Amino acid sequence: MSELSSKILNSIENVIGKKNDINCIPLHEPYFEDTNAWKYVKNCIDTGWVSSSGDWIEKFEKGICSYTGSKYSIVVNNGTVGLRLALYVSGVERNDEVLIPPFSFVATANAVSHLGAIPHFIDIEGTTLSMCPKSLEKRLDQIAVKKEGKVFNIKTGRRIAALLPVHVFGIPANLSELLKISKSWGIPIIEDAAEALGSWFNISNKKKHCGLIGDLGVISFNGNKLITSGGGGVIITNNKELALRAKHLSRTAKINHPWEFDHDAIGWNDRLPNLNAALGLSQLEVLENRLIMKRNLLKKYKENLHSIKEIYFLNPRVNSISNNWLITISLNFKDIIKTKKERNELLNQAHKRNILLRPLWKPLHKLKMFRKSPKSSLFLAEEYEYRIINLPSSPQLLI
């Protein structure tokens, strides 16, 4: 075993304890112990309101608005459909291009493809692992033209309809800079804030929740996220028109009427069931506490790993706050081959010790479905691909 792997793993075990053969340490587990989860879910079952309408839906939406400061929120089935719906209401159509960073869960690119649009990859920046404003600007200068208020890719002839930056592992993307570029070109921003509930950005001296800096943002409540509704997601926005349209389309575009079934568009059934909203609200009520538990966990990891010179912790920019969803370290080596070798050794050894460390996702532009998608130079993405490791990050790990 390499010396580095054992140093890192011993230090991790100092934080979370040594695990035996039966208990493995997953990356992120849900936690309901100190919540009203059972009471709220039981209420759904007792009253029969388990499906697409009921009181908990509105309560959950109100709770999200009050926590994030969003004027509107639309809860949906999951983050993926939330992204698809947010892109749709912001005007993305078949054969448009949507600019995205290559490091994300596959859902980001899938949501673009579900509309018949095409992901177009822009390189990352090392600090946030998300879209690099400089690369974006350079790429647009090279390939884009503005015609009658719309932006076109001169190489493909397709319209560039949206920017979709991702707040990777809860670390806010460089949104103040991305926003400037979005404004100067007139391209809307939809934020993939799936991992970023509880992450904030300081912009023009105002603290804004991730997802509310662009036109719309989407948060996921999947089981592995910071809090969960079983499955679910929410679109947040301060734009009334977009919010109403998203809400309407998420519920089959049905015109409100006591008994008539009239629909004025081809909508989706994206609604979050009441049962999931009840569970979600019970988790939202303990969010602040979870964020504290996360900060403590990060502190413990830092205390125990700081002397290892070959790694460093990913930190948010000074103008932003991360929810620490997945605590992340990066290997420090310059050489990519050495990095990959050390990373694989670390992952192998970790899995032998039942600690489920996780590497970065395979970059989206290397997945079979997206290999032919347009892309900028992805120089930094290539460099970071093998450097990044997520540590077990469940908030309850220190209990």
Question: What is the contact surface with ligand PLP in residues (CB under 6 A)?
Answer: 78-80, 104-105, 107-108, 166, 192, 194-195, 220, 222, 233
Q: Which is nearer to ligand PLP, 73 or 222 (CB)?
A: 222
**Total residue length of the chain:** 399
Q: How far apart are CA 25 and CA 16, in angstroms?
A: 9
What's the closest the beta carbon of residue 231 comes to ligand PLP, in angstroms?
A: 6
Residue from 236, 301, 277 nearest 53 by CA: 277
> Shortest distance, CB of residue 27 to ligand PLP, whole angstroms?
12
Q: Which residues share a beta bridge with 3?
A: none
How many CB atoms sit inside 10 A of residue 240's CB? Answer: 10
Rounded to the nearest whole angstrom, what is the least distance from the CB of residue 366 to ligand PLP in the complex?
17
Closest approach of Cβ 107 to ligand PLP, in Å? Answer: 4
Q: Judged by CB, which is closer to ligand PLP: 97, or 192?
A: 192
Rounded to a whole number of angstroms, the minimum distance from the CB of residue 87 to ligand PLP is 12
| C-alpha torsion sign, points 84, 134, 340, 10 | negative
Element (H, E) at 283: helix 274-284
Q: Which is nearer to ligand PLP, 57 or 143 (CB)?
A: 57
- Residue 371, classed as helix, strand or coil, is coil
Q: Which is nearer to ligand PLP, 153 or 233 (CB)?
A: 233
In 332-394, where do the E strands start and end?
358-359, 388-390
CB of 74 to ligand PLP, least distance (A): 14
For 389, the 3-state DSSP assignment is: strand
Token pair listed for 269: 């059934």
Kindly tell me which of 100 and 311 has the beta carbon lying closer to ligand PLP.
100
Residue nearest to ligand PLP (CB): 79
Nearer to ligand PLP, 88 or 333 (CB): 88
